[in-house]
Structure 1
Amino acid sequence: MTHSVLHTFKSALTAAMSAALLLAAPLSQAQNQVFRVSAIPDEAPTELQRKFKPLGEYLEKKIGMKVEFTPVTDYAASVEGLINKKIDMVWFGGFTFVQAKERSKNQVTPLVQRAEDEKFHSVFITTKNDIHKLEDLKGHTLSFGSESSTSGHLMPRSYLLAAKINPDTDLKRIAFSGAHDATVAAVAGGKVDAGALNISVWEKLVAEHKVDPAVVRVFYTTPGYYDYNWSVRTDMDPALKKKLTDAFLALDPKNPQDKAILDLQRASKFIPTKAENYTAIEAAAVNAGLLKK
């Protein structure tokens, strides 16, 4: 084989190998691609991981990608993670969704929510015999959850303001526990006189006998409001968006495997949602001075 023929053969072989590698790259990337999911840290990280595991395994089968749960340290990190493409889908509270929508200039889309999130509630709890209504909180200490929590801060604050109680001036002291279960622990342990939290976490703790409702009691339940949702970036591939939405909507409580997933999510079923559902939350946040427009 002459030098020129050998050179041509090598060049052709190199070109063929390069083409083969190029063709293989998208395939291997798709196989190695990880779909990253997170949630606002409104409960202990171990609890969030436990709740998500069966749902993550279910979603893997439905979207054909590896699904990983990525915990975040605070509510703001869940917003930044989604906007900066470090996370692909987040379980937001209503207020955190509004913050993400505002921060991203409307580049966040809510896909689904639990049926329960159409009319969600917060509860106010206490161990004190002299607290029976919101007005009785004057001069007492109160714990909210996280500052960015819808059900643990924004909506309880907005119902206090509606009852003509300014938590910052009418209460002896307010605290932020960081999570709903931590609020219950603070009230039960006597660190504060009262607390406000998400009704579903309260009901879960009572059902698991982690709190005695005869000692720590609910004295006020808020009216219903829209709350949690699963959100993605607006620029996500529409086909993937549809696969995710369909996967959530297909969860059937009559199927034992699906019911186990739904129970961990404290959901009877998932339903579609849209950004317009959260306009009341946005208005409440602006009114409470927690969102600057």
Structure 2
Amino acid sequence: MFTITPRTLRALFTCAVLSLTAAAHAQTVFRVTTIPEEAATEQMRKFGPLASYLEKQLGVKVEFTPVSDYPAAVEALVNKKVDLAWLGGFTYVQANLRSRGKIVPLAQREEDTKFQSVFIAKTDSGIKSLADMKGKQISFGSQSSTSGHAMPRGVLVEAGINPEKDFARIAYSGAHDATIASVVSGKVDAAALDITVWKKFVNENKVDTKAVDVFYTTKPFFNYNWSVHADMPKAMQDKVKAALLAISPNVPEQAEILKLNRATRYIETKPENYKELEAAARNLGLL
């Protein structure tokens, strides 16, 4: 017969206390991730200051962890492996469908209300219009990217172009900076990407517009947002939203956060903003 001795009881009690302490510690860590629109090092540089800001505002430890690809960001939020995620419009739609409507968009950049994609090509390629892309090698970003795939594909279809039939080859770079590199290096003839990443590369002299430049810009659409899972307590949701909306361009360290995130300010957003994008994605067979 097994006898519980005082020593065993003390050991069991210690284990229970340690387990509860570990659980409590885990609950005090607020986890943040983003879709990898650029290289992991750039993601860390961009969102590190925001993580520090949120840590002060929320009163808990905030950890930022980059993921390998767009689907990984979706799964992390749907499965509550992270508390807050920066998603594109299309990845938000995917996450909301995967979770059966349990993803809550809190805030977006003011720029995300009228976002655009650009098509770029080498200036000596002879590509001056969408029609000129026929027979060429083309790159999109991630297959789950709004500005790097879903919206540009929609524009092409509207123009009477069937990417699978009319292009010599379709590549998926996985990230906007890689998309630019694929055109600059000549791996592809033309590509589509996020307009803000393109402007960033131009402003930082990371691309020579005499060699590679924009030949087509899409109409505006709703894009990126910060989202949480609906299972997060409402009080915490409100606190996170308030922290994001409070980031001010008039406070130097906060202005730097906005600059790194290519934003003038954060504003509220709502699920209805992405209904048109969801409908377009369904029409394209992407959902």
Q: Could you tell me the TM-score, scaled by structure 2's length?
A: 0.91
Residue in 2 aligned with 1:8?
none
Unaligned runs of 5+ in 1: 1-10
Which among 106, 129, 134 is matched to residue 130 of structure 2?
A: 134
Residue in 2 aligned with 1:124?
119
Q: Does 1:82 align with 2:77?
A: yes
Q: CA deviation at 1:213?
A: 1.0
Name the CA distance, whole Å, in 2 between partners of 1:282 and 1:134. 24
Question: Which letter maps to 2:237?
Answer: K
Residue in 2 aligned with 1:245?
241
Which among 176, 181, 184 is matched to residue 180 of structure 2?
A: 184
Checking the alignment, whether the CA contact within 8 Å between 1:31 and 1:65 is kept in structure 2 is no
Q: CA deviation at 1:26?
A: 7.8
Residue in 1 aligned with 2:3?
none
Question: Which letter maps to 2:168?
Answer: K
Question: Which letter maps to 1:40?
Answer: I
Q: CA deviation at 1:129?
A: 3.8
Checking the alignment, whether the CA contact within 8 Å between 2:36 and 2:70 is kept in structure 1 is yes
Name the CA distance, whole Å, in 1 between partners of 2:229 and 2:103. 4
Residue in 2 aligned with 1:229?
225
Q: Can you list the C-alpha shifts for 1:112-135, whole angstroms capped at 9, x where unaligned? A: 000000000000000044111111
Residue in 1 aligned with 2:171?
175
Q: Does 1:266 align with 2:262?
A: yes
Name the CA distance, whole Å, in 2 between partners of 1:257 and 1:189. 36
Checking the alignment, whether the CA contact within 8 Å between 2:179 and 2:192 is kept in structure 1 is yes
| Sequence identity (%) | 55
Residue in 2 aligned with 1:164?
160
Name the CA distance, whole Å, in 2 between partners of 1:234 and 1:212. 44
Which among 267, 279, 283 is matched to residue 283 of structure 1?
A: 279
Question: The residue matched to 2:37 in structure 1 has which SS?
Answer: coil
Q: Can you list the C-alpha shifts for 1:240-270, whole angstroms capped at 9, x where unaligned? A: 1111111111111122121111000100000
Q: Which runs of 4+ in 1 moved over 6 A?
A: none
Change (3 A) 1:31 1:73: closer
Name the CA distance, whole Å, in 2 between partners of 1:168 and 1:28. 50
Name the CA distance, whole Å, in 2 between partners of 1:61 and 1:235. 23
Name the CA distance, whole Å, in 2 between partners of 1:285 and 1:96. 11
Name the CA distance, whole Å, in 2 between partners of 1:234 and 1:65. 19
Question: Which letter maps to 2:158?
Answer: A
Give the total of aligned pairs: 273
Checking the alignment, whether the CA contact within 8 Å between 1:134 and 1:160 is kept in structure 2 is yes
Which among 58, 64, 73 is matched to residue 69 of structure 1?
A: 64
Question: Which letter maps to 1:89?
Answer: L
Which among 88, 99, 102 is matched to residue 97 of structure 2?
A: 102
Question: Which letter maps to 1:168?
Answer: E
Question: Which letter maps to 2:236?
Answer: L
Name the CA distance, whole Å, in 2 between partners of 1:117 and 1:26. 41
Unaligned runs of 5+ in 2: 1-5
Checking the alignment, whether the CA contact within 8 Å between 2:125 and 2:189 is kept in structure 1 is no
Q: Does 1:34 align with 2:29?
A: yes
Q: CA deviation at 1:28?
A: 8.8
Q: CA deviation at 1:30?
A: 6.0
Checking the alignment, whether the CA contact within 8 Å between 1:114 and 1:228 is kept in structure 2 is yes
Name the CA distance, whole Å, in 1 between partners of 2:240 and 2:80. 17
Question: The residue matched to 2:85 in structure 1 has which SS?
Answer: strand
Name the CA distance, whole Å, in 1 between partners of 2:28 and 2:249. 30
Question: The residue matched to 2:214 in structure 1 has which SS?
Answer: strand
Name the CA distance, whole Å, in 2 between partners of 1:142 and 1:27. 50
Rg larger in 1 or in 2?
1
Residue in 2 aligned with 1:56?
51
Checking the alignment, whether the CA contact within 8 Å between 1:118 and 1:227 is kept in structure 2 is yes
Q: CA deviation at 1:289?
A: 0.7
Question: Which letter maps to 1:87?
Answer: V
Checking the alignment, whether the CA contact within 8 Å between 1:114 and 1:270 is kept in structure 2 is yes
Name the CA distance, whole Å, in 2 between partners of 1:201 and 1:28. 40
Question: Which letter maps to 1:36?
Answer: R
Name the CA distance, whole Å, in 2 between partners of 1:198 and 1:32. 35
Name the CA distance, whole Å, in 2 between partners of 1:181 and 1:243. 33
Name the CA distance, whole Å, in 2 between partners of 1:229 and 1:117. 8
Residue in 2 aligned with 1:113?
108
Q: Could you tell me the TM-score, scaled by structure 1's length?
A: 0.89
